[in-house]
Structure 1
Amino acid sequence: MNGQLKHDSLTAEQVESFNQNGFLIIDIGLDDATIDSAISDMEIAIEEERDGRALWPGIRIQDGWKHSDAIKNIALNASAFDALAQLFARTPLAFQTLNFPVGTQQKAHSDTIHFNSMPSGFMAGVWVALEDVSLDNGALVYYPGSHKWPEYNMQDVGMGIGYDNYKHYESFIEARIAESNISPFYAELKKGQALIWHANLVHGGSKPRMANKTRFSQVTHYYFKGCKYYTPMNSTPDNIAWRQPTWIDEKETLSDKLVRMAKQQAKKLVKRF
């Protein structure tokens, strides 16, 4: 992220919309070159193998920022940081990227089952469309206002901690949606647009109307300064599964790292001879 946070990049109406609905669609000024480079890096990563097995099985690439400058630059986009800082009144800290070549069709959930903070509420996601997104290729689906629900955990579901019981959490959320009568919102974004959502907002992936269509996208998850961080799915009131996130920062790009490693290797060769 370059420069100082502006903290005033959004209008009062946009802030109010986020507070009421739990999400906001904005233009973060991404250029086509960055987007196209991110897609190219994703395509390379998807084809990559190690010991004859796919490095990224399935439909998502986790923490691609460690290997792609373009993915990292999207995660550190200044406009997204400014908007997050204004919405949460704290400095955002990017800690995870997820990249998808197609729609996920993921069942409805809230990110607060996966990530949370103390004090609570200081986690957010930013979903960036790397190509036009519609119902044809699988738009994300959000439930406006659901961020005001309680932060449900495995104890609320009546199950023990751990991913083995996650399907029961999904069923719990489906029932909660049905009884709430909230109408879903399908996020149809243009290439380069971003959707910011509150961590407790219930969301998922819709089934695409057309098969075999790509839906390149990137999600970056953010915590905020001045908090402690943990994994609710693996936590009980008496035993918190604390997290120590690796922050995504711009101290060293991948290119810089390669140069530094090359210089270190050259020094070793000089010493050897």
Structure 2
Amino acid sequence: MSTEETKALTSQQIESFAERGVLKLDLGVSADFLNNIVEQVQPLYEPSHQQNPLLATRVQDAWKQLDSVRQLAVHAKVLTALEQLLGRKPLPFQTLNFPVGTSQYPHSDSIHFNTVPAGYMVGVWVALEDIDAENGPLIYYPGSHKLPYYSMQDLGLEPGYPQYQAYERRIQDVIAEHGLQPELGLARQGEAIIWHANLLHGGAARKDVNRSRHSQVTHYFFEGCEYYTPMESDQAKRKRRKPFWIPKTSDFQLPPEPWERPLPVRALRKVLRGLGLADE
């Protein structure tokens, strides 16, 4: 990024992100491309949504099946902007696609994904159709990324996803304690909203439940870090992550799922002995 032409963001946009923890960016992608994602993802949603298209749901990592989803996750303007914002190479590792608003309670992504050093993770939400105040836009709290990175222990909770609802209640207390004021993430088709790892955000109420709200979120880590899941970590041990980075090209091979990997020889022999099919 040695010339102005290679940059996606102005210095004012970078300063705004540092202050607010959130930034809107027009990706300049065609409506046909985004409409194609909506159409291709639709069959991947669970059967209950197929029967009732207004039911809230999501599909994770559709990029593994749909190249259009992968292309949006590695969009050059997004990658350039993220490198400008954090000064390191961004590494996309997860996509989520949504057909309607989530009405999700506010949370910080840093409870799910964090790094050492802290803060090298962002979420990028792309409007696959126009999003207004009626069809369940994002809701976020500008400046909340400057709060501490709350762990489960900081909030008086045991680590683990069974405690997630209690975590959400604690975050509501944090919002009230600090007098944080929300904004709605209103966006036109093709606009992206980038948020800092620690920004409190969620889904606003769906005022018109008969409308869709197609969107795609991609989560990014950055190179040169240790990656872990704070929700499942404690002070003694971090639950480390070993992400498979979403590739920039379509000629890739996915690693085998854990259940597809061959058992180590010693483990296999132990299983066979347990079945009486091998000598002690």
User: Shorter chain as normaliser: what TM range?
Assistant: 0.7 to 0.9
The aligned amino acid for 2:119 is G
User: Which whole-Å CA distance do the structure 1 matches of 2:47 and 2:145 have between them?
Assistant: 38
Matched residue type, 1:101 = P
Give the corresponding residue for 2:78: 80
Give, in whole Å, the separation in 1 of the partners of 2:248 and 2:186: 30
Show the counterpart of 1:261. none
Q: Residues 225 and 38 (structure 1 numbering): CA distance in 2 closer, same or farther, change over 3 Å?
A: same
Structure 2 residue aligned with 1:262 = none
User: Given residue 153 of structure 2, which amino acid in structure 1 is its aligned partner?
Assistant: Q
Per-residue deviation, 1:19 = 0.4
Three-state SS of the structure 1 residue aligned to 2:105 is coil
Matched, 1:26 2:30: no
- Matching of residues 44-193 of structure 1 within 5 Å: 44-46=43-45, 59-193=57-191
CA distance, structure 1, for counterparts of residue 136 and residue 21 of structure 2:
21
State the match for 1:35 in structure 2: 34
Whether the 8 Å CA contact 1:5–1:78 is kept in 2: the answer is no
**Which consecutive residues of structure 1, in runs of 5 or more, have no partner in the other structure?**
50-56, 258-273
Superposed displacement of residue 69, structure 1:
0.9
The alignment yields a C-alpha RMSD, in angstroms, of 2.1
Question: Which residue of 2 is the match for residue 197 of structure 1?
Answer: 195
1:157–1:168 CA contact under 8 A, matched in 2: no
Deviations 1:214-255 (A, max 9, x none): 00000000000001100000001111100000110124358x
Secondary structure of the 2:154 match is: helix
> CA offsets, 1:23-67, max 9 Å, x none?
000111211222011101111212669xxxxxxx95101000001
State how far apart, in whole Å, the 1-side matches of 2:178 and 2:152 are. Answer: 20
Contact in 1 for aligned 2:56/2:101 (Cα 8 Å): no
Greater shift, 157-166 or 104-113, is seen at: 157-166
Structure 1 residue 8 displacement after superposition: 2.7
Equivalent positions of 1:205-224 (< 5 A) are 205-224=203-222
> Given that residues 97 and 220 in structure 1 are in contact (C-alpha distance below 8 angstroms), is that contact kept between their aligned partners in structure 2?
yes
Residue in 1 that maps onto 2:267: none
1-structure distance, mates of 2:80, 2:243:
21
Distance in 2 between residues matched to 1:208 and 1:250, nearest whole Å: 35
Equivalent residues, number: 246
Secondary structure in structure 1 of the residue aligned to 2:16: helix
CA distance in 1, matches of 2:241, 2:13: 31
2:23·2:195 contact (CA, 8 Å) conserved in 1?
yes
Structure 2 unaligned blocks of 5 or more: 49-54, 255-280
Alpha carbons of structure 1 residues 172 and 47: separation in structure 2 relative to 1, 3 Å: closer
CA distance in 1, matches of 2:4, 2:66: 24
Match for residue 9 of structure 2? 10
The letter of the residue matching 1:154 is M
Distance in 1 (alpha carbons) for counterparts of 2:157 and 2:47: 38
Q: Residue 88 of structure 2 aligns to a residue in which SS?
A: coil
Q: Percent identity at matched positions?
A: 46
Structure with the greater alpha carbon radius of gyration: 2
Amino acid at match of 1:13: Q
TM-score, scaled relative to structure 2: 0.84
CA contact (8 A) 1:6 1:82 kept: no
- Report the TM-score when normalising by structure 1: 0.86
Q: Report the AA paired with residue 180 of structure 2.
A: I
Query: What residue number does 1:53 align with?
Result: none
From the superposition, tell whether residues 6 and 85 of structure 1 become closer, same or farther in structure 2 (CA, over 3 Å).
farther
Query: Aligned partners of 1:23 and 1:31: how far apart in 2?
Result: 24
The one-letter code of the counterpart of 1:132 is: D
By how many angstroms is 1:124 displaced?
A: 0.2
